Amino acid sequence: MPFGRLERKEGAKPMADINVTPLVDVMLVLLVIFIITAPLMAGSLRMDLPHSESAEPGLPAESINLALTPDGQIHLDERPVTPEQLRQTLERRATQDPDTEVQLRADAQVPYGKVVELMDMAQAAGLSRIGFVAERKPAR
């Protein structure tokens, strides 16, 4: 029996490849965070405005409340009116203040065509700011 080395098995070789899966996971999480927070940061400007003792907040814009009931009755500021009376009132208010807002409430049963007729009447009178008023669904 010769003297010499005992036969050894080779040990495990070190891994030469980098496992990128954790890196990809971290990058995706950062991307999601960036996507969510970017619109929030861009939406506001932080400003230090000068102060004035005589400055007053602006008056709220004038508004006209129009309501259309299921039977087709038009109400202007809670009073029933005819289409001709409404047209005259809208034209008068448009000449006084063209920035007057029309707040339109219509019952869910009213055909869409009737709502469009009221919108058209307001726009023809010169009032282009029209808002639709809706009620919040009751909580269950």
DSSP 8-state class, residue 139: P
0.75 surpassed by pTM: no
In a domain, 16, yes or no: no
CATH code assigned at 104:
3.30.420.270
In a domain, 113, yes or no: yes
In a domain, 1, yes or no: no
Q: Per DSSP, what are the bridge partners of residue 101? A: 63, 129
Mean pLDDT for the stretch of residues 85-98: 91
* Cα distance between residue 91 and residue 98, in whole Å: 9
Does 21 or 11 have the greater pLDDT score?
21
Closest C-alpha among 110, 4, 50 to residue 119 = 110
Question: In which band, very low, low, confident or very high, does the pLDDT at 110 lie, cut at 50, 70 and 90?
Answer: confident
Question: In which band, very low, low, confident or very high, does the pLDDT at 121 lie, cut at 50, 70 and 90?
Answer: very high
* Residues 61 and 54 sit within 8 Å (Cβ to Cβ): no
In a domain, 104, yes or no: yes
pLDDT at position 1 over 60: no
Mean pLDDT for the stretch of residues 64-91: 89
The secondary structure element, H or E, covering residue 121 is helix 112-125
> Total structural domains in the chain?
1
* Cα distance between residue 26 and residue 47, in whole Å: 35
In a domain, 79, yes or no: yes
Range of the domain at 92: 63-132
- The predicted pLDDT at position 71 comes to 85
Over the range 7-30, which residues count as b (16 or more CB within 10 Å of their CB) and which as e?
eeeeeeeeeeeeeeeeeeeeeeee
In a domain, 125, yes or no: yes
In a domain, 111, yes or no: yes
Single-letter residue type at 127: L
